[in-house]
Amino acid sequence: MNASSDLYALTEEHRAIRSAVRELCDAKVAPYAAAVDEEARFPREAATALQAADFHAPHVPEEFGGAGADALATVLVIEEVARACVSSSLIPAVNKLGSLPLQIAGSQELKAKYLGALARGEGGFSYCLSEPDAGSDAMAMKTRAVRDGDHWVLNGTKRWITNAGESEYYTVIAVTDPEKRSKGISAFVVEKSDEGVSFGAPEKKLGIKGSPTREVYLDNVRIPADRMIGAEGTGFETAMKTLDHTRVTIAAQAVGVAQGALDYALGYAQERQQFGKDIADFQGLQFMLADMGMKVEAARQMTYAAAGRSERGDADLTFFGAAAKCFASDVAMEVTVNAVQVLGGYGFTRDYPVERMMRDAKITQIYEGTNQVQRIVMARQLLAGVQSHL
């Protein structure tokens, strides 16, 4: 992919992927979205459908049995699933987040074992970075890993872990040498079945209720030394590199839920009549819809541009990943709020999907780095002169 192609047109293959995912979601994801939210249950129907179509972890390379989707194709999958159900979109998104550290820094043996299992649908992959006292300040983590012969023993608590309890595999970031700060942090693969692994109660959340968020407890979890991802002391660097790439997937979620809300608002505005005509005929509403459409498309183009940089590993990915995530999530919040406004009183009820979309959109401004943190990241990149000028 050349430097500009990601800004203008999708390939025929990319368009085919979008079409296939949308068709699948219309048939097997969207019909269950309201119940998944209402019952705060894992979207089992979506998980089954996505796995059957190989959309549950499309990023896994073909050499490990995966679909080998590029970064843009993965973004398209997540965007389309989020258009129907944000909770369900966390299946491919978090599978990438959890397993990408292995792709970046894992040994060939580790990749073959765990990426292969993920591709085969033998279990999802979660990412354990945050802790009760270490959110935006990830280096404040307290989870420890201590070497014991040819094993490591892990102790600590991880918080805000998406799909915890559902996933079979966990990338855990832990302190191996407290004296070295970021250079004393390492990454490991922990399995759900490892002795000493347990989970807290699911969080009671505003949105994405179908995706369980729980604490992960590590109580003397003893794992083989070859489950370390990369060299000792490189875990923090790997974790940050991972987020550079996966922030683009959060941008994709945001674009998807914003598009879903816009689609519903457009349909409603053309059917709802007041004062003897469709409310879509009123200029005040037209201007609102125009702004919604304009901003969704701007967010989409920024997200796709960031996906291109993720695929190529461009030097300005850190800026573009942060910018796409920040801008798209702010757009998603604005557009979903306005979609509720278009529906008026009906939009405020659970009989219509836009209030769910509004609640789900909020988290995209918070997780994988709050938008305040994204602005810090962007500013540092700008001041360092990293951002490219096309």
Amino acid (one-letter) located at 114: Y
Is residue 97 within 8 A of residue 170, CB to CB? The reply is no
Taking the C-alpha atoms of residue 99 and residue 193, their distance in angstroms, rounded to an integer, is 17
Element (H, E) at 22: helix 12-28
Residue 297 annotated in active site: no
**Nearest in space to 229 (alpha carbons), one of 190, 189, 277:** 189
Classify residue 233 as left (phi > 0), alpha (psi -120 to 50) or beta: left
Which amino acid makes up residue 152? Answer: W
b/e per residue 83-117 (b: at least 16 CB within 10 A): bbbbbbbbbbbbbbbbbbbbbbbbeeebbebbbeb
Cβ atoms of residues 360 and 255 within 8 Å:
no
Nearest residue to 300 via CA among 16, 18, 1, 24:
18
Coil, strand or helix at 273: strand
- Read out DSSP for 59-89? TS-GGGTS----HHHHHHHHHHHHHH-HHHH
| Given 166, 215, 311, 368, the catalytic residue | 368
User: For residue 255, what are the contacts with CB-CB under 8 A and spacing of at least 6?
Assistant: 79, 82, 296, 299, 300, 303, 328, 331, 332
Active site members? 368
